[in-house]
Chains A and B, each alone.
Chain A
Amino acid sequence: MNSLKGRLFAILVAATSLIWLVATCWIYVGATREIESVLDARLQEAARMVLSLASGNGVGPAQTEGDSRQAPEIMSYERQLSCQIWSLDGRLVARSSGAPDESLGDKRAGFSQRLIKGETWRVYTAEDAAKGVRVSVGDRLGLRAHLAEQIIKGLLAPLLLAIPLLGLLIWASLSRGLRPLQALTRELSRRNADDMSQVETGTIPAEIRPVVASLNHLFRKVRDAMRHERELTAFAAHELRTPLAGLRTQAQIAMVANDSGVREAALRQIVVAVDRTTRMVRQLLAMAQLDSIHEAKQASINIGDLIEEVIDALPASDRKAEVELDPALKSTMVTANRELVLVAIRNLHENAVRHMLEPGIIRWSVKKGSDTLAVYIDDDGPGIPDDEISLVANRFFRGRNKSPLGSGLGLSIVDLALRASGARLVLQNRNDTRGLRAQIVWGIAQDGEMQPSLTDAHRSDFKRFGPHLSPA
């Protein structure tokens, strides 16, 4: 049975009935035993009493005392006992009315049971050798059983009446007791699929409050995830519109321009715009993928090999820079997810290449501390203005020194990928010369040496952009 109410009802009714039944059995057994001992005592007493009255040739109680009319009334206590007085030589001296002719008891004193005319008799026999008489007093066992039966009937009758009443009462109490649960069910089933508002916990009983609390927690998480998703989609849509607008404008220029120089320039711009849009879409997909990674497979990876892999995979247009690799990188091993670190390295390298003002040098190096490992890339581009350095890892942020091909997503992808690999992205402008140093740091940051992590800025990226987007 799947209904909590039904199950509770069945259990309660069954348990109540069972307890009542067990009690009845107990009472039955107890009552039977008690009846037995009381009636046995009565037999004994009656036999002794008769024996004391009887004389050797005496006459017992008047034979005419009872008559056949009263005989069937076994219910009457007066008629329940039968008595026989026997002389010791085996002659029936006297008997009570209704007593059978055959000897009730054995020929010896004490209790005995006998089957007479299809009925079992319980008999007590007492002897008095001096008087020469033996007195047997007996009653029928059927009578005793009947007594016990009467007692049980008296107990069971109210029970049979009470069980439906009890059932009704239990049902009503359950309905009342489970009302908050029903109210909760109703509220939840009435909701729209996207209604993630909190469930009011004020009137919820303590027993299901943990359930409601975790439900609310789940609602909150789903709502946050949905909002994040929605914001990202909205941002992506906005960010794709500008390059598409540029693309369309250039295409229209190419269509209407009479001058071949103008037309060619427009067509060249179209190619660049397509490249940029392609890159933007690729970055968006990478971002969406990173967002959905929850548990990345860890492996021991060689940073130097990864960097070489990234450089080898670069398109020819991105190879104009000279790249220097610190030989120590080839022996730098890190336990992390290979794909994530690869994404981070690729984006950092591409960034360095794109921001190169003229063919320059990109240098990958490594610095090992006691409990930290920093892999860093130096470029000789324009760097990042100080007031923007804490913003650049925000999604879609494009600073003053942006590259025409940028999507505004590169550094936030790096940040996301590194956080998923247990590392941090630290950006700082180079002290020695113009350019940017981007560091991938594993382990605890050493104070004063590195700037604070950018990761905290990440989550609030949409909020930071809020005023620009929607000055609500």
Chain B
Amino acid sequence: MRILVVEDDPMLSDGLRVGLGLYGATLDIVASCADGRAALAADAFDALVLDLMLPDGSGLDLLTALRSRGDRTPVLLLTALDEVADRIRGLDAGADDYLGKPFDLEELAARVRAIGRRNSGRATPQATYNGVTLNPARLTVAVNGECISLSRREFAVLAALMDRPGMVLSKSDLEAKLYGWQEEVESNTVEVHVHKLRSKIGRAKIETLRGIGYRMRPIAS
């Protein structure tokens, strides 16, 4: 899950990067509205964690602009302003959730998972497809009821493929889900992760469409 965090406090954004990373997310962090806009224009994110009081303006303006563009990226407002009126204003401006500072890291991770889940049209906490069950909260995967252990990257690849099981994800799509801007990506990393993943969950579960990308193999075939 790739998340953009717009937060100007270095201490907190470092905490979010490491903390949400522990829960399996890939984070990109910017510290101002302008950088946030640029990041949103350049990349697609599974969720946006947005602070309201930013050095160059209010996060609400960023949110309003985002929604008026028709961007459906789930947004969680994370801010020190958590009076009821502020929450209402934030939610009415198009936010999907609102969390006041200081917050519980696990709760934040759960809320981010929840808004991401709803965005992919799923209500159950686990994603199940063709015998594979993925639990993002516990970072566990079970194949035909049997738990298997995956590395962080392998889990991220599987989670991306399971998010919308029929959809084909290209290599660069997967790279974007896996790596933030700061991380160096080697040319064959995605292939390596997919290969290892196949060996753990079963070769047939993931289908390769040559020249296009990967997807979960449909149940019928």
Q: Which residues of A are interface residues toward B (Cβ below 8 A)?
A: 237-239, 241-250, 252-253, 256-257, 262, 265-266, 269, 272-273, 276, 398-400, 402, 404, 467-471
Top 3 closest A-B pairs, CB basis?
A249-B15, A246-B11, A245-B101
For B102, give its contact among A239, A241, A256, A404 (CB under 8 Å): A241
Residues of B103-155 contacting chain A, CB below 8 A: 103-106
* Interface contact A242-B12, CB-CB below 8 Å: yes
* Interface contact B102-A248, CB-CB below 8 Å: yes
* Interface contact A468-B12, CB-CB below 8 Å: no
* Interface contact A470-B22, CB-CB below 8 Å: no
6 further contact pairs, Cβ within 8 A, besides A238-B80, A248-B105: A248-B102, A250-B11, A253-B15, A253-B18, A257-B22, A398-B55
Q: Which residues of B are interface residues toward A (Cβ below 8 A)?
A: 8-12, 14-16, 18-19, 22, 32, 52-58, 60, 80-81, 85-86, 89, 100-106
* Interface contact B60-A471, CB-CB below 8 Å: yes
- Chain A residues in 8 Å Cβ range of B106: 252
* Interface contact B54-A468, CB-CB below 8 Å: yes
- Chain B residues in 8 Å Cβ range of A252: 19, 104-106
Bound complex: CA A468 to CA B60 (Å): 9
* Interface contact A269-B102, CB-CB below 8 Å: no
For A253, give its contact among B9, B85, B105 (CB under 8 Å): B105
A-B contact pairs, 24 of them (CB 8 A): A237-B80, A239-B80, A241-B100, A242-B9, A243-B11, A245-B9, A245-B12, A245-B101, A246-B14, A247-B102, A249-B102, A249-B103, A252-B19, A252-B105, A253-B15, A253-B19, A256-B105, A257-B18, A265-B18, A398-B55, A467-B58, A468-B54, A468-B57, A471-B58
Find the B residue at minimum CB distance from A402.
B55
* Interface contact A470-B101, CB-CB below 8 Å: no
A399 CB → nearest B CB, Å: 7
* Interface contact B12-A470, CB-CB below 8 Å: no
Find the A residue at minimum CB distance from B85.
A470
B141 CB → nearest A CB, Å: 19
Bound complex: CA A404 to CA B13 (Å): 12
Bound complex: CA A237 to CA B80 (Å): 8
Bound complex: CA A239 to CA B101 (Å): 10
